[in-house]
Structures are given as C-alpha cells and as structure tokens.
Structure 1
Amino acid sequence: MASLSQQKKHLSFSALKQAISLHFHAIKDSRVQGKCDYSQHDVLMSAFACMYFQDPSLSEFQKQMEEEQNQNNLRTLFNVEKIPKNSQLRDILDLIPSKTFAPAFKDLFERLRRHKHLEEYAILPNTLLCVIDGTQYYSSKQIHCDCCLHKEHRTGEITYSHVVLQGAIMHPDKKQVLPVMPEAIQNTDGTKKQDCESNAAKRFIANLKKHIQDKDL
C-alpha cells in the first residue's frame, strides 16, 4: 500500500507540474535580461497550460485568460506570475530550440519506467510499441524562415510549412498514449537541402534508442 501511495505521489499532477517547471527553469534564456516584460518560464508554463486545457489555439486560450478567474487558475495551478499576451507568447516561443525540451520527455519517461507503469504497455515481454507519424502545424505562402519546408506549385507559387514527426508509445488495449520527444522535419541550411520524413525518422529512432535502449520496463 505504501509503495502504491509513493507511485501516485511521484506521478501526481503536482509532482509532474513541478518537474516540468524545473526543466523550463533550466532552459537558457537567449534574450537580453533586464529588458524582458515576461519571463521565459511564464511563457513556457502558459504554453503548457494551453495544451493541458486543450484549447484549440493560443488566441482562444488568451481570450479565456483575460477573465480574472482563469488568470487566478493559471497562477495557482501553473505558477505563472505574469501572463504574456498572445503576440509575446508566440514571439518568445519561436526563439526556443525544440531540442531543449528533450530532458523533460526523458524525465517523464523515466518516472513511468521506474514505477512500472510501462509494463502495462508492453506488447511483448520487455517490448514497447512506438508509433510515429508526421503532422504539419504551420503553412503560409508569404511568411517563412530558413527552416521552412517548401513546395513549389505549377503556378509558380511556393507554400512554406513546418512539419514535425511525432511518436507515441501505444497499446491496443489502452486509450491513453505516451508521447515521446518529437523530431522536427526542417531545413537546416536554408533552401540548399530539403528535409523529409524518412530522414527525420532516422534521427528520431536514433535519439529514441539512445534514451531508452537496454532498459528494463
């Protein structure tokens, strides 16, 4: 009974939120300090809250946060001292490399493994099933950056996009899935080389193996 109570304590919302908060604090802030209206931690926790509350968009989330009750919830539940506006939220998030979130995913995976929750997801003895799929989360014909993928149409127009390869540990008898660190499908040298899902999958598998290989469930 004591062991079960300890497992629940380490995997409770409060414990996981605190762990994520610590990882966010550890991410280096590239901005000039003293000239920032919002802390990077407040921005990251606000974005996490947006996902936690399953809001359809950042702008919709921001509208809800304008209500005093929701502001209080954000401060109480996610330790956000100063809630950033929608434009600042996007601008600051864009400066943070996605790879800096890898330690948080690794930590949460280790918590599940350490407390034997991954055993429930084993499809074979000591074997997990990780499903991967690519998804596009940004598209524009005007706004683009050097990392954008690009597709030229017959009309000569170019569509720029951001795509990510997301993986999740699944089990056919489980409704819940366990997301792992995604891999960006992006150009790293401007227009000289076009990245693709196959290359991203190779990087994804290599990183996944490095984090969880040779570990018992």
Structure 2
Amino acid sequence: MSFAEPSRIEPDDNQSRGIALAILLLPLTLPLFLFLCLFVFLPVGLFAFLFSFTGELLFYLSMWNDGRTLTRRRLRRRLAAGETGTLIIEYPMLAQGRTHAWWTPDDISTLAPLPIPDRSSDEYQDAVLDLMEQDQSHPWDAWCWQEYTSTSQGKASLLRVWNGKKYQEWLARHYPSIPIVETTSEIVRQLEIEAQQKSHQPQP
C-alpha cells in the first residue's frame, strides 16, 4: 500500500514581501507613531479637555454670580425639612457626554404642558434629529429650557456641571421618591443665543 505524499503549501510571494517590508519599516514607523502621540494627539486632547473644563467652570461661576447655584448640603437640608421638587438632568449636547444637574421645588410632572418624553427612546431621538434639520427644538426641551434651565430666564438652581448625573445616582439612592427628568438643550440654547445677537444688532 502506498501513501500519497502530503501536499506542501507554498508561501505566497506577495505576502512574504509584505511581511518583510513591515518588519523593515517598523523601526521607522514606531518613532513616527510616538511623535504623533506626544506632539499631536496628546496636545489636541489636552486642549479639548481644558477648553471644555474651562467652559463648564465659567458657566458655573456665571450661575453663581446670578444667585442660581445650590450646594448638595443646602439641598440635603431642604429635603430633610420636607421640601419636594424635581431634579433636572440637562444634556448640553444631544450626544451622551457632559451633563448639568438642576434643582427646582416645582413638580414638573404636573406643570409640564405636554408629556415628558423618555430621552433614551428612539422616538425622542428621531424627533430631535428631524427637528434639528429644521433648526427647531423639541417642544419639551424648549419648555424646560424657558422655564427652568435657561441662563437668562430660567428659575432652576444649578447643582453641578460636567457630570450632573452623579446627582441622579445620589438622589436615586437617598431620595428615591424625588422625580428626575432629562432634557437636551443644544438646539434651544443656540436659538436663544442667535435671538440675543439679533436683538443687539443695530436696526437700519
């Protein structure tokens, strides 16, 4: 009985050349990659972080100057004294990221002129995206901004910037009966800024 000799798989010449070229270029590409990380990506990322952090700090200071900030200690005292209200988690941008926490003694669920949408739902996200194409804001976001979170006419008190959702976790743990609502202010904030700029332009 004879056995067939096992077939040999010959290496592909192009693949072999590619591997050899990669090995040869590795000493050149590694320093370039390190250079880009240290002198391009890292400075750009650091600048973006500092720019965002500074903006949030200035925003908080402006609200503090207007008497519209509230510390956790003062809020805890109010809640211990029997005050009720609503925690507002504001997303300055539609995408997940920075959040602001606001407090109002109002029961927004009974005062809102329309149903409060679920911000995480596809229905709300699709509606916001459709309205953005028309430079319009969602009716809920517009109402919540005008009544509570607007920097010029809102009446809610700012608790925290940058990561306001920490207050959501804190309230859910210690005061689970306090309602929490979410809103996106990206479009309505921009519309208010544009309206203010137009009002300050000299009339012909």
* TM-score normalised per structure 1: 0.23
Q: Higher RCO, 1 or 2 (CA under 8 Å, sep at least 6)?
A: 2
* TM-score normalised per structure 2: 0.24
